[in-house]
A and B are shown apart, each in its own frame.
Chain A
Amino acid sequence: MRGSYWSIALGFVAATWLSFHYLAIDLSALFTVKEATRMAQYAASFFPPDLSASYLARVAQGTAETLAISAIGTALAAIAGVFLALPAAGYFGAVVRAGSKLVLNFLRAVPELVWAAIMVLAAGLGPFAGTLALAVHTAGVLGRLFAETLENTPREPQLALSDAGSPASAAFIYGTLPGAMPQFIAYALYRWEYNIRMAAVLGFVGAGGLGQMLYFSLSLFQQRQACTIILAMLVLVAVVDAASAWLRKRLVL
């Protein structure tokens, strides 16, 4: 026990030394007086944030766009996730199950930002590309979680219904879905909380929202405007966290 801690600590120190050595970063160069003044000047150029009414209106629009990207993206992903979860939970046999799990893993493994860069090529610059990118990645995440939920939901009600003669779809909708639905909603809301953070940065590759505004304003050396956008991101994340926690408490518990 104690030995393994020491070996991890030693390994960590060695890895850190190797990393700094490999990257050849001279951090001490950052702490010279000249460099520190330059950094401080750069940081100071962000203040005060631009709070003029016209700019706030534009930031509000960007915030709404980001919110919409995350909400629509997550909603699409939830719908797609249910349809991917059915085969992945083994409803259509073992072969289909393995295949759909592979698809889910692939969707999930490609980072959102890469999906966004691809979607910008497929759908052009703008928030629609961001929405699609979030939807595709999140469908992989939610599909897997939904499939696990379906596997853990008791099958007996559905079997009873189909034994009594109801068609398969009705047996699933009235037998299994009611038991799984609260968990589905909880997962989707949790993922929405996460996606709002992603939606705020997908714009870096041209997929709309606050990220795109931030990227532009920093490229144009408008630091005070950038500061307003960053503040808007912080507020948005805090509000969505609170809203999602409230909804989850109301809907699930």
Chain B
Amino acid sequence: MPATDTDRRLQDPAAPSRALATIVVLLLLWPGIKWTEFSPAVLFDPQNRQTIGHFLGTFLPPNVSPEFLQLIAKSTLETLALATAGMALAIAFALPLALIVAGSLSISRIGPGPGRGGGNLLRTIVRFVLMVLRGIPEIVWALLFVRAVGLGPAAGVLAIAITYSGMLGKIYSEIFESGDVQPARVLLESGSGRLSSFFYGILPGALPEIVSYTIYRWECAIRASVVMGFVGAGGLGQQMELSMRMLNGGEASTILLTFLLLVLLADAVSAMLRRVLT
């Protein structure tokens, strides 16, 4: 039967192009199916089902024996301390690096003068270093430091310090450049040094943003330290790894609940601090 006008009007005019886009996406994803060894059947493999069934079966009730809770409380404190100590080091590393990178504090950029090429080169190098520091995930740094300084929270602190100094350094330098840079420039032009131009020309305007971004990153650092223990860098993650390896579901569920509480708490504290400041 030939298509009537009504049939044609009922057709979706965008259908062919949409179908084509879907097919292209599916073709692109196809090799991925092979590479990920995609096979839902393994989920129903009797042995796997027994392992996971046994593990999840012991999740309830959570282990709340006093000794275990004490251990968890200790690990939680360790996680918090790890994130905070790491952040403190990160700020200490990031501030000087950001001061080097920020173009708004460059004396050689004000007018034609000596040292311009050198300054630009230094800035490029530091920018590249910051990129590498934050480009490698914190947990990879943690794994590297566990091999260098041994198991325990020291590796985690260093990992947080390294990754977050890369992130903070970049954002700090952007904040120093994005605000009102006139005051700093006037100070520089009238002959004051870089540090005093920074403290009197830039910092007063940039402080709220700096503080609120740092608090936000502290919250991220807590989330990161929670899992960092999986590679042996201390804190709650390390307990989780032990409990999972021993297939102790009751302990795992207690730790999981502590994770959730800790993240919620960090969320709330960070939101509160930032609200107080704005």
Contacts and interface: CB of A to CB of B under 8 A. Distances in A.
Interface of A: 4-5, 8, 12, 15-16, 18-20, 22-23, 25, 30, 39, 42, 64-65, 67-69, 71-72, 75, 109-111, 113-114, 117-118, 121-124, 126-128, 130-131, 174, 197, 200-201, 204-205, 208, 214-215, 218, 230, 233-234, 237-238
A208 B36 contact: yes
A113 B50 CA distance: 22
Contact of A237 (B12, B31, B135): B135
A9 to B, nearest CB: 9
Interface stretch (B78-86, B95-103, B173-181): B78-86
B188 interface: no
A18 B82 CA distance: 11
Nearest to A110: B256
Contacts of A18: 81, 84
Contact of B81 (A5, A23, A121, A128): A23
The prevalent SS among residues of A at the interface is helix
Contacts of A5: 207, 211, 277
B84 A25 contact: no
Interface stretch (B60-68, B107-115, B118-126, B149-157): B149-157
A22 B77 contact: yes
A186 B170 CA distance: 25
Interface string B125-141: 00000001001110110
B48 A122 contact: yes
Contacts of B88: 12, 16, 19-20
12 contacts: A19-B81, A22-B77, A72-B38, A111-B226, A113-B227, A117-B230, A121-B51, A123-B48, A197-B137, A204-B230, A205-B230, A218-B144
Contacts of B154: 23, 25, 30
B277 A4 contact: yes
B223 interface: yes
A218 B232 CA distance: 14
A23 B226 contact: no
B231 interface: yes
B260 to A, nearest CB: 5
Contact of B136 (A75, A205, A234): A234
A16 B84 contact: yes
B20 interface: no
B157 A23 contact: yes
Contacts of B42: 123-124, 128
Contacts of A64: 31, 35
A121 B55 contact: yes
Nearest to B45: A124
Contact of B29 (A75, A113, A197): A75
Contacts of B230: 113, 117, 204-205
Contact of B143 (A16, A118, A214): A214
Nearest to B84: A19
Contacts of B227: 111, 113-114
Contacts of A197: 137
Contacts of A12: 88
B136 A233 contact: yes
Given A22-B77, A30-B149, A128 B85 contact: no
A111 B144 CA distance: 21
Residue of B32, B223, B244, B276 most packed against chain A (CB within 10 A): B32
A127 B139 contact: no
Residue among B31, B85, B148, B256 with the most chain A CB within 10 A?
Answer: B85
A42 B148 CA distance: 7
Given A8-B277, A128-B38, A230 B136 contact: yes
B231 A19 contact: no
Nearest to B83: A19
A121 B34 CA distance: 21
